[in-house]
Amino acid sequence: MNPTATQSREQTISALQQGERFLLVTHEHPDGDALGSLLSMSLILRALGKDVVSFIAADDLPLSYEYDWLDVSDIVSEIPRDADERVVVFLDCGNTERSPLVDAAAAPEHLLNIDHHHDNTRFGSIDYVLEDASSTAEIVWDLANGLGVALTPEIAEALYLGLITDTGRFMYPNATPRSHAMATELLAVGIDGNLIFRRVYENLPEAKLHLFARALTVAERYLDGRLTLSVLSNDDFEQCGAPASYTEGIVDFLRAVDGTRVAALIRETTDESGQSYRVSMRSSDGEIDVSMIARAGGGGGHPAAAGFKSELGRDDLIALLCEQISEQS
Ligand code: AMP
Ligand code: MN
Ligand code: MN
């Protein structure tokens, strides 16, 4: 770790030790790392005797089937009245726009920003952002050690969830020897790793199978195959009986197609702000930085996995992706 990160580690540990009341939050539409780091941090702070409230927006509950085994009984969907007196801890959240908390807790005095997105906007009073960490869970695991909190099976399960999802089951280049060492330590606590894999990656609802079939059928290649993409419309979701969360994993399938440098899933979405598209991108060989493309579209993410939401039409979006990829390759 670099010297700045080491200094922040001490500051972060001391802020966690000194705080009495905490409010934990993560990004909207929480993924495995968001949930794993939120739940593990909550358990770790409680082990230290702290008063902890964890927040997930009502829109994001109940959790999708992959995560429905997690104990979210303590999670609140209303921001506590004393939010501005609590130490607010953002986990796995690269910018405040990705959190519904931003309007409510306008400027908490103590805002701890614990994350691994390289384009994190450093919005905290303490920014503990480790770009080399595979997952926010990996950072929380290290903080637990630093705080002297022994890993319980519940903590280890939550951390393992964050680790396996953000490393693509240890397949992505972010799975370092350190990530594997973390897995070793978590499994040694006695958790059932295979059971967690099955819960997250198997038990597919049949509607998800139909949605995958649809996405693979409509897959198109651009730029001599360097870009492989699928577009899913509101009608597709309706006809398959699938919610938006069932798209998880489609883009990884597209990425695996021979010759692909960038895979994208473009899905239509309709919410309070009207009709728009969400674009989810993955880089196959790491040569093309998809977070640059995401930023050009108004979003962000990691060099190998990024996304954005756009009001552009389908064809304009595809043109934007082609243009951005051509500029980089
Ligand atoms: P996804 O394709 O939704 O799995 O997201 C891949 C990565 O892109 C994650 O690390 C997200 O944090 C990031 N990401 C996705 N959408 C956005 C967005 N609208 N703004 C910023 N980052 C995003
Ligand atoms: Mn995440
Ligand atoms: Mn993450």
| Residues paired with residue 214 on neighbouring β-strands, in sequence order | none
- Measured CA to CA, the distance from residue 250 to residue 67 in angstroms comes to 18
Atom of ligand 1 at shortest distance to CA of 299? 20
The token duo for 261 is: 């440098």
**Rounded to 5°, angle at Cα 290 from 128 and 141:** 30
Binding site membership of 124 for ligand 1 (Cβ less than 6 Å): no
Q: Lowest-confidence range among 4-18, 143-157, 255-269, 295-309?
A: 4-18
- Measured CA to CA, the distance from residue 218 to residue 231 in angstroms comes to 7
CB 239 within 8 A of CB 233: no
The predicted pLDDT at position 102 comes to 61
Separation of 318 CA from ligand 1 center, angstroms? 18
Residue nearest atom 1 in ligand 1 by C-alpha distance: 280
Q: Which residues have a Cβ under 8 Å from the Cβ of 159 and sit 6 or more positions away? A: 36, 37, 40, 137, 140, 141, 151, 182, 186
Q: Give the residue from 36, 9, 8, 13 showing the smallest Cα distance to 24.
A: 36
Binding site membership of 83 for ligand 1 (Cβ less than 6 Å): no
Confidence band for 58, pLDDT divided at 50, 70 and 90: very high
| Residues paired with residue 232 on neighbouring β-strands, in sequence order | 267
For the question of whether the overall pTM of this predicted structure is more than 0.85, the answer is yes
- Measured CA to CA, the distance from residue 177 to residue 211 in angstroms comes to 36
Q: Give the residue from 64, 78, 296 showing the smallest Cα distance to 203.
A: 64
- Measured CA to CA, the distance from residue 175 to residue 33 in angstroms comes to 14
Q: Lowest-confidence range among 89-93, 121-125, 209-213, 244-248?
A: 121-125
| 108 cis-preceded (ω within 30 degrees of 0) | no
Domains observed in the chain: 3-200 (3.90.1640.10), 206-328 (3.10.310.30)
The answer on pLDDT for 104 being more than 70 is: no
